[in-house]
Structure formats: C-alpha cells, structure tokens
Amino acid sequence: MAEAFDSETAPAKINLALHVRKRRADGYHELETLFAFAKDGDELNVEAAPDISLSLTGPFAQSLATDADNLVLRAAHRLADASGVRAGAQMRLTKNLPIASGIGGGSADAAAALRMLNRFWRLDWDVARLLPIAEELGADVPACLVGKSCIGRGRGDALHLLDQTELSGAPLLLVNPLKPVSTAEIFARWDGTDRGQMPQGSDRDILLQGRNDLQPVAVALLPEIADLLAALETQAGEGLARMSGSGATCFAILDSLYKRDQAAQHTARKFPGYWIFPTHVA
C-alpha cells in the first residue's frame, strides 16, 4: 500500500575531477571521475493516484517534456515493472537546475524518483537492488542514486565510496552561462590523449591534484566558460574552481559562507543573466 504523499530532493551532481582515459569499442569512454553532490537541486514530490503521471514546474520546466523519454517517468515505470507494484503515482518535478549542464539534471531526477517511489510504494528495496534499474537509465544515474561522494570508473557507473571526505559541508557556488553545449560533441572532440590516472586520497586531494579532461574541449566550443572560470578562480583561489562534467556549469568551493555569497554577488555583476546557485557540498 502506498503512502499518501512523499518528496525527495534531486541534488546537483558535481564532477570534482574527470579523467578520460580512452575510447571504448562500445562507443562510450573509459572514465575516472570523482562525484560529489550539492545539498540542493531539483525537487520531486508524489501523491497517490490511479496511474503514473508527471507534471513540471520551476524555472527550467519549459525545457522538458513529459513524454515517454522523460527519465523520471522511465524510472517510475521501470520500478513498477520490476517490482510488480500496481499502485500509481502523481509526481510533480520542480526543475531548479538547468538541463544538459553537466550537473546531473535528468540523472539526478531519475535517481530521486527511484528513492522516492521505493518509499512511497513501500517496497523497502536496498540500494543494491535499485542499482540495476539505475544502470539501465544512464551512466550517471547509479552515482546519483547513491548520492554520496564516490569514485566512478568505466562509464562512470562502477562506483567506490571514498575512505576520506574533507569537503562535506563546504560552501559551493554553481554558475552556468545558460548556453548549451553538446555532451556528444564534446566527447567526440576529445583528442584521445590519456593524461594519466586520477590521483588518490581524500576528495580535497583529488580536487586539488585532478583535472577535467573535457574542460579544454568545452572552452573551445564555448569561450564564455574560460572567462567564467577565471573569475571564479579569482574568488575561490587557484585549484578550487573547475567545470563539472561536460559543462557548461562551473563550480567554486569557497572557504566560508561569506566568501561564497561575495563570489555569487561578484559573479552576478560580472555575468548578468547567468544562472547562479549558492549551496553546500553534501
């Protein structure tokens, strides 16, 4: 029997480092990445209903459709099929994060739907049982389902939780120029050079010593990213600002809430019209 109401946050996903090692025969790329998550993101809620449905609200709702390709609906139907549940779910997604922006987006929403409906339908499945569904939905969905700082290898879906996390609670600023970049094109333009494995250590160690191999490609396609990163590095200190995923969202990790909020104000003045999202590392 389902609950009457439930809700779940779909936090923004951050690639603190992203090392591309080689192209694979299956069309994907061999990756090493360090995932972290913000405390905030999209919001998903659900009420009892005879069928599975989804409505959209929020600043980026107009960018999405509620057709069969929507990842939230795909996650819901896949979980219903796998579990044999007969209950429906009337879901509403508040879309606070820009789409196709390198911070999870649909993957985070799909993972949130799995967590939420697992409770709502009283399935009580553990994460290990939900992971095969997440893997079918996309390479980033397993990490978003786990929702903890972790290393991803392979397509990014072979996950290993970190032994040491030092960045939890750190003030985090996300900024996006609201100009689209194509993930497929960025991966296609990667030069194929293996620049070495991701360093070991804590999340802070990997952030400081790692890199994002897709960042130069994205900058070549969208030069605004370079200007944004230069401004964020001035505010945050060298090494604590980087592009996430295939872009175009960039992030800065600050020493204090005051510095984060000052950086947000400075960025808003320098880049009017950009999406600016102050939060924390989860």
Domain annotation covers residue 166: no
Q: Indicate the pairing of strand 89-94 with strand 52-57.
A: parallel
Query: pLDDT class for 1, splitting at 50, 70, 90?
Result: very low
What is the rounded distance in angstroms from the CA atom of residue 88 to the CA atom of residue 90?
7
Contact 125, 118 (CB under 8 A): yes
pLDDT 10s digits, 260-270: 999 999 999 99
> Rounded to a whole number, what is the largest CA-CA distance in the chain?
54
DSSP 8-state secondary structure symbol assigned to residue 34: E
Q: What is the domain range of residue 105?
A: 5-161
pLDDT 10s digits, 158-198: 999 998 999 999 999 999 999 989 999 999 999 999 999 99
The four Cα atoms 147, 60, 207, 255 give a dihedral, to 10 degrees, of -100
Domain annotation covers residue 121: yes
Domain annotation covers residue 57: yes
Does 211 have pLDDT greater than 50? yes
Q: Cα-flanking dihedrals φ and ψ of residue 164, to 5°?
A: -130, 130
Domain annotation covers residue 48: yes
Residues 16, 119 within the same domain: yes
CATH code at position 33: 3.30.230.10
Does 227 have pLDDT greater than 60? yes
Contact 197, 215 (CB under 8 A): no
Does 121 have pLDDT greater than 60? yes
Contact 175, 230 (CB under 8 A): no
pLDDT 10s digits, 40-78: 999 999 999 999 999 999 999 998 999 989 999 999 999
Residues 137, 208 within the same domain: no
Q: Which residues participate in catalysis according to the annotation?
A: 13, 140
CATH code at position 230: 3.30.70.890
Q: What was the pLDDT predicted at 3? A: 60
What is the rounded distance in angstroms from the CA atom of residue 256 to the CA atom of residue 237?
12
Q: 53, 49, 117: which is closest to 82 by C-alpha?
A: 117
- Structure token digits, residue 118: 């697992």
Percentage of the chain beyond pLDDT 90 is 93
Window from 63-72, 109-118, 137-146 with minimum mean pLDDT: 63-72
Residues 116, 186 within the same domain: no
DSSP 8-state secondary structure symbol assigned to residue 200: P
Contact 8, 72 (CB under 8 A): no
Residues 225, 128 within the same domain: no
CA distances from 15 to 10, 12, 65, 246 (A): 16, 10, 26, 9
Handedness of CA 56, 145, 158, 34 (dihedral sign): positive
Does 147 have pLDDT greater than 90? yes
Q: What was the pLDDT predicted at 180? A: 87
Residues 151, 14 within the same domain: yes
Structurally, how many domains does the chain consist of? 2
Query: pLDDT class for 224, splitting at 50, 70, 90?
Result: very high
Query: pLDDT class for 238, splitting at 50, 70, 90?
Result: low
Query: pLDDT class for 79, splitting at 50, 70, 90?
Result: very high
Q: 105, 128, 142: which is closest to 245 by C-alpha?
A: 105
